[in-house]
Amino acid sequence: MGQLRVGMVGHAFMGAAHSQAWRTVNHAFDLPLSARMSVVAGRDDQRAATAAAKLGWESHATDWRDVVARDDIDLIDICTPGDTHAEIAIAALAAGKHVLCEKPLANTVAEARDMAAAAAAAQSRGIRSMCAFNYRRVPAVELMRRLVAAGRIGTVRHIRAVYLQDWIVDPEFPLVWRLRKDVAGSGALGDIGAHIVDLTQFITGTHITAVTALTETFVRERPLLNGSKTSGEVTVDDAALFLARLDGGAVATYEATRFATGRKNGLRVELNGSLGSVAFDFERMNELEFYDGALPSTEQGFSRILVTEPDHPYLSAWWPPGHPIGYEHSFTHEVRDLIAAIAAGEDPAPSFADALQVQLVLDAVERSAASAAWVQVEPQLAAAV
């Protein structure tokens, strides 16, 4: 078995989740390449060393450039804030490294376009890239996509998607990097709204073409992280809500907020079609709600599909039927698909071009919120026309 030697940049929340995936993927799945956790990079030497020991990496570094330059690294996994994604990814692709990059792809459309162009150029040299929208790899979500693709709910008419969190409800919560536009790009919109934009487009196979939106920042100043009594400005949205039209004819509503008190990670997507409906709720991530309108009226009603069977997506690698899996498995499935694509010489999904399309939707939402008007989503090739 050949090796895929991985260098990861960043070791906080997403770094820990990705590390779990690299540690477990070859134990769960039979793959033609074995992931080798070669090096993790972080800005602080001691913290990077601690992370390497805790998360299972062979070594650590303090400069991502050194990792990219190493001849014994095949893939760069980017788990840093959005303001660094473009520089790291473009350098890695130019150096002949495969790239896995956390979402959203970048902080701006311009950066995302540059990343997609770099990925397309590298593709001709056999270099692969993927954006890490992990919720695509939840087995129930993949089953939902297959049901829609098979026509089980007919023509999709309505889409409802929400992502609700509450971790910054307290106005005394400090001004972390996710609340600064120069580092994060946007707030709830890019952090969690990007997920539901990607999910609904992935599940339906259609794209958002126009939006009308509003955003709000409820707490505009927060204490600085240094513990002083001074405060700093919150420069991102706390909540984003928008209506959308999709090119398949469906209409949609989206809501992303960090101010839904009591909701810790409340992601839900529901589709209503001409023949039925299907819904996914991450708080019950091993289930789908399915309504089959073709049944006799005496048998109609939402049914629960328990997605734990070995012939459900990904689940043959895990436990007997009825034994649920968790959040961390979505990342393992993600790197499983990435390794399989690299070994087969195929392009993994979602590609950087797919992630650029999500970025164009986020940009349209921000422009609509600023103008209080319907806004068209830019086409990917707009800059080349």
Question: Which residue range(s) make up the domain with 203?
Answer: 139-284+286-325
- Quick check: helix, strand or coil at residue 324? coil
Domain end marker among 325, 345, 380: 325
157-171, 211-225, 261-275, 368-382: least confident range: 368-382
Residues 37 and 17 placed together within one structural domain of the fold:
yes
Average pLDDT over the chain, rounded to an integer: 97
Residues 149 and 295 placed together within one structural domain of the fold:
yes
Is residue 228 very low, low, confident or very high in pLDDT (cuts 50, 70, 90)?
Answer: confident
Please say if the pLDDT value at position 193 is more than 60: yes
Q: What is the pLDDT of residues 308-364, one digit of tens each?
A: 999 999 999 999 999 999 999 999 999 999 999 999 999 999 999 999 999 999 999
How many CB atoms within 10 Å of residue 385? 5
CA distance 259 to 239: 7
Mean pLDDT over 119-148 rounds to 98
Supply 273's token pair: 């079609």
Residues 220 and 269 placed together within one structural domain of the fold:
yes
Mean pLDDT over 282-288 rounds to 98
The one-letter code for the residue type at 73 is I
Supply 55's token pair: 């998360």
pTM: 0.96
Number of domains into which the chain is organized: 2
Cα torsion for 144, 242, 195, 312, to the nearest 10°? -10
Q: How many Å separate Cα 319 from the centre of its chain?
A: 25
Residues 157 and 63 placed together within one structural domain of the fold:
no
Contact in structure between 235 and 182 (CB atoms under 8 Å): yes
The answer to the question of residue 214 being in a domain is yes
The one-letter code for the residue type at 207 is H
Q: What is the pLDDT of residues 63-115, one digit of tens each?
A: 999 999 999 999 999 999 999 999 999 999 999 999 999 999 999 999 999 99
Give residue 306's pLDDT.
Answer: 98
Residues 198 and 70 placed together within one structural domain of the fold:
no
CATH number at residue 95: 3.40.50.720
The answer to the question of residue 163 being in a domain is yes
Residues 144 and 130 placed together within one structural domain of the fold:
no
Name the helix (H) or strand (E) containing 35. strand 33-41
Domain end marker among 115, 135, 155: 135
Give residue 382's pLDDT.
Answer: 52
Name the helix (H) or strand (E) containing 54. helix 45-55
Give residue 254's pLDDT.
Answer: 98
Give residue 1's pLDDT.
Answer: 67
Please say if the pLDDT value at position 383 is more than 70: no
Residues 170 and 295 placed together within one structural domain of the fold:
yes
The answer to the question of residue 307 being in a domain is yes
Contact in structure between 185 and 109 (CB atoms under 8 Å): no
The answer to the question of residue 93 being in a domain is yes
Residues 197 and 296 placed together within one structural domain of the fold:
yes
Give residue 227's pLDDT.
Answer: 75
The answer to the question of residue 349 being in a domain is no
CATH number at residue 264: 3.30.360.10
- Ramachandran category for residue 357: left, alpha or beta (phi over 0 → left; psi -120 to 50 → alpha): alpha
Give residue 385's pLDDT.
Answer: 30
Please say if the pLDDT value at position 277 is more than 80: yes
